[in-house]
Structure 1
Amino acid sequence: MPKSTKKKNKAPLETAIDSVLVLDGFNDWVEFPPGSMPSGNAITCSFWAYGSDALPRDTSVISASDANGNRILNIDLPWSNGFIYFDCGNNGTSVGVDRIEKQASPEVYRDNWFHWAFTKDAATGEMKIYFNGQLWHSGTGKTIALPKSSLVRLGCYGDSKYFYPGKLAELQLWNRALTEPEIKQNMSRRLIGDEPGLVGYWPLNDGEGAIAEDRTSNANHGTIHGNPSWGPSTLSLVDAIPSESENEKAPSSPGTPTQASDTPMITEIVPAGSAIADKNTAVIQFDGETNYIEIPHQSVLGLTNNFTVEAWFNAQTLEGYRRMFSKFPGFGYGLVGSSLLFTTYWIQDYAAAAQLTAGTWYHLAIVFDASNSVYFYLNGSLVQTVAGESPATLSTGALEIGRKAEGHDEYWHGQLAELRLWNRAKTPGEILSGKSYSLVGDEPNLVGYWPLNEGVGTTIQDKTSNANHGSIRGNNVVWGLSTLELAAAELKSDRGTSSQAIEEQAQPSTPEGKEQIPSIPGAKVPSQGETAGKLETTPAPIIIEMESLSDEAVLEFFTKGNGAIYDSVDTALDQMKAQGAFARNAVPVFIVISGSVATTA
């Protein structure tokens, strides 16, 4: 295919889609020229879709037909019966079409962004459907080719019926059946428009007007009908890879693995092994009926008290008992209605009332201390403390995420992310400071860490060296996209508490290269002369004196670094040195409240 004639100042090199096409489901559609639909033996049609809560109903996302109205291609996402239908090819009759179909749950087609790819190769007889880069359904013996189309429409079927309600982005048509690695590679990035085999590329992010621009040199621009809107999008894609016309060092073309490796650039929704670093990374959808994760017992998981559990959760249902985590006959936690719940099985139920909204992300931390009291934290704030009398029973049973291990019920309905298990009671400051960051997995006292962001497959990875890996059980395992935003994992040194992020925040540089002490609301900052030479510690700490510590100061301090509370500066330095916190010459910052923390000045 010739290089794109698109002007460079409008090339799709953004890191995120600014706007998307929003269809109302009543009379909105886009009509493309007949030549935009490939003909012959092979095709790939892919796009991102965000279906509205009006689904399921009779809808067609994209359709093509010949001059006699015979369908050549049609994708129902879904039909009113919940089936996703993929029709492709026609032998010249109204019924001479190849089809594959599969029942789908609402979690895969509405209220979130999902990537779909539909492929056919009549030469091999294979038709396939890919969901979020993974093969979802397939059929064989499908050998009818695609004739030339006379009518091609997005958002409805044929002569304007079965309108699709929702958002669409990144529509691509290829004249060949892409492979699974190619689909995975292309789904999370923009295209240029000159990729081999690409015959139509409509990002659908024009933002205004009645034209949906085709970024290929074929210029099969679409005409928008009805009254659709251009809405903001939370869908994020990486930059397009420039072609030779825009970069003298042209990489291998998108859709083809590089020469240096047999693996694609992007092998999952998120790079393999990474923790959640921003919104729209992978997240598992628990169906509330059959899905859960089973993790075999290891001795490090056999905790009875003096431990902390954490999780981010997004509940689709706030009714009845819903378990996030269960280790029978030891302990478990979850929700009962809108209340937070922690259970020591056969011993005691601990509950804390909370104001929760379905479909919203919350951070939950529960501390079960050495005195058998439970501390419930929601979004970093203490909600309630409940006293107890006995530790949990030592459990050697499997750990289950997403249901109650005893009785095999109380299934979780919604999303879970960033599950953590610590073998000590964490402090309020540690909970507040750590909730908005992913982890590395080598943090002290961390015995289990499951980001739950694999994106494909049925294996769940524990990022700690304990390797408490698990397997997803149940029907219709679904990976979706998450809107949860967490800062990237901070690399630790010698499993200490220092990080490069703290170093950079503790001593930002002025234009002249001089060090500055960070600004903390209400702080009286001593001069370098007041503290220099007074501490026989390498490196010397920065000490900030305050009369009191306001809520604003607490929030800024604990969300910009690994804050902790100590009896004295000397005690803190001794502990940090013992943990290897200065392996990379980090400069510790201490906030000293007058009369409560000793200084050496």
Structure 2
Amino acid sequence: MTTTTAVKTSSVLCFDGQSTWVECGALELPSGDYTVEAWFQARSGGGALFEAAGRDAGVHLALDESGALACVHAASPAPDQRVSFITPASYRDGQWHHAAIVKGGEVLTLFVDGSPQGIVSGARPLSGPLSMSLGRRARAAQPSRGLRGALAEVRVWGRARSGEDVRGGLGSSLSGAEAELLRYYRLGDGRGKLARDHAAPGAAGTVHGTYVWREVPVAWAADQGTVRPAATSETAALAQPESPALRHRSRDRDQTSENTTGLQDYGHWKHLYRERDTSGDPPFRRGRIWA
């Protein structure tokens, strides 16, 4: 039997697909293993969800042009140092989905909504400092690779979380004091240009470009302890901000770095893209991510 709670209201960060992105600064992965988690919503186009990249190495999670999730882990520019895969399903459906990349040893696994969608071996350790960003590539402005949609509850762990851990964390928020939690951007309590980091308070993200913090309804349903998205009574056009009162423009001019992350030179996106039919926008849905 499914029980649906009352609808709550919370804010999420919306991206315009061109200028919006969050600069999160340097990220270190001490053990070599990691887990990256994020809730995302998109209706059109593709775009980066998360990237942590250095000059020659990095990890990248994005929606491709068809709405499929594409994941790349590159230890160096050499082809045999890169692993990648793409999901068979499209997630450009206007609903909220949870994605998690888990690297344990040399095995890379992508979970979507708690279920493994891809497993690949050969993921070598990343070396050197990494620059982390949300909603766009970590280096210079690349409008064609910007996210058109919304993000919430972005978490970076310094260890490989098990499938049980990933599924167990789908329906609740964190305190920020959890062991080996390196970064935690709820993106549900933000205003203005700062995206608060609840795990490392000194590492708040800076929001660039045209951005919107939008109040949206959040509903959840529990069935024998399993939390899953439940329909709300409204459809929030997160990817298409409308209210001038909610719109902000950064006064900081985005700086174009001359350094290369290495990832942009691989040409790994073209061979991942393929056409796929998608259905129209369904009613807005959201998982319970605020306890």
Fold in common (TM above 0.5): yes
Instruction: Give 1:195's aligned residue.
Output: 178
The 1:228–1:413 alpha-carbon spacing in structure 2 relative to 1, beyond 3 Å, is: closer
Distance 1:103 1:115 in 2: 16
Secondary structure of the corresponding residue to residue 59 of structure 2: strand
Task: Report if aligned partners of 1:100, 1:127 keep a CA contact under 8 Å in 2.
Answer: no
Instruction: Give 2:81's aligned residue.
Output: 96
Distance 1:28 1:142 in 2: 33
The 1:171–1:151 alpha-carbon spacing in structure 2 relative to 1, beyond 3 Å, is: same
Instruction: Give 2:99's aligned residue.
Output: 116
Task: Report if aligned partners of 2:14, 2:150 keep a CA contact under 8 Å in 1.
Answer: yes
Higher relative contact order (CA 8 A, sep 6+): 2
Task: Report if aligned partners of 1:63, 1:71 keep a CA contact under 8 Å in 2.
Answer: no
Secondary structure of the corresponding residue to residue 111 of structure 2: strand
Instruction: Give 2:20's aligned residue.
Output: 28
Secondary structure of the corresponding residue to residue 169 of structure 2: helix
Shift of 1:118: 1.1
Task: Report if aligned partners of 2:154, 2:186 keep a CA contact under 8 Å in 1.
Answer: yes
Q: What is the one-letter code of the residue matched to 1:96?
A: Q
Task: Report if aligned partners of 1:89, 1:147 keep a CA contact under 8 Å in 2.
Answer: no
Secondary structure of the corresponding residue to residue 167 of structure 2: helix
Distance 2:192 2:281 in 1: 37
- Within 5 Å, which residues of 2 pair with 1:214-233? 214-217=197-200, 219-233=202-216
Task: Report if aligned partners of 1:40, 1:147 keep a CA contact under 8 Å in 2.
Answer: no
**2:144 maps to 1:156:** no
Instruction: Spell out, residue by residue over 1:8-63, the C-alpha distance to the aligned partner (whole angstroms, 9 max, x if none).
Output: xxxxxxx956100011111000001113x525421111111111x322x4x21111
**2:257 maps to 1:272:** no
Distance 2:175 2:15 in 1: 25
Distance 2:60 2:203 in 1: 19
Which of 201, 225, 230 is the matching residue for 1:281?
Answer: 230
Instruction: Give 1:142's aligned residue.
Output: 122
Distance 2:33 2:201 in 1: 18
Distance 1:43 1:202 in 2: 16
The 1:281–1:211 alpha-carbon spacing in structure 2 relative to 1, beyond 3 Å, is: same
**2:197 maps to 1:211:** no
Distance 1:61 1:221 in 2: 17
**2:44 maps to 1:54:** yes
Shift of 1:196: 1.0
Instruction: Give 2:252's aligned residue.
Output: none
Aligned length: 232
Task: Report if aligned partners of 1:211, 1:222 keep a CA contact under 8 Å in 2.
Answer: yes
Larger Rg: 1
The 1:48–1:83 alpha-carbon spacing in structure 2 relative to 1, beyond 3 Å, is: closer
Task: Report if aligned partners of 2:218, 2:286 keep a CA contact under 8 Å in 1.
Answer: no
| Structure 2, unpaired ranges of 5+ | 1-6, 232-278
- What is the aligned-residue identity percentage? 21
Task: Report if aligned partners of 2:98, 2:170 keep a CA contact under 8 Å in 1.
Answer: yes
Instruction: Give 2:11's aligned residue.
Output: 19
RMSD: 3.2
Secondary structure of the corresponding residue to residue 62 of structure 1: strand
Q: What is the one-letter code of the residue matched to 1:272?
A: Q
Secondary structure of the corresponding residue to residue 233 of structure 1: strand
TM-score (norm 2): 0.70
- Within 5 Å, which residues of 2 pair with 1:365-444? none
The 1:413–1:75 alpha-carbon spacing in structure 2 relative to 1, beyond 3 Å, is: closer
**2:29 maps to 1:38:** yes
Shift of 1:102: 2.2
Instruction: Give 2:217's aligned residue.
Output: 234
Secondary structure of the corresponding residue to residue 182 of structure 1: helix
The 1:20–1:414 alpha-carbon spacing in structure 2 relative to 1, beyond 3 Å, is: closer
Distance 1:184 1:481 in 2: 18
Distance 2:225 2:96 in 1: 22
Decide which structure has greater strand share.
2
The 1:415–1:60 alpha-carbon spacing in structure 2 relative to 1, beyond 3 Å, is: closer
Distance 1:204 1:94 in 2: 35
Task: Report if aligned partners of 2:157, 2:183 keep a CA contact under 8 Å in 1.
Answer: yes
Instruction: Spell out, residue by residue over 1:381-418, the C-alpha distance to the aligned partner (whole angstroms, 9 max, x if none).
Output: xxxxxxxxxxxxxxxxxxxxxxxxxxxxxxx99989xx
Instruction: Give 1:130's aligned residue.
Output: 111
The 1:18–1:415 alpha-carbon spacing in structure 2 relative to 1, beyond 3 Å, is: closer
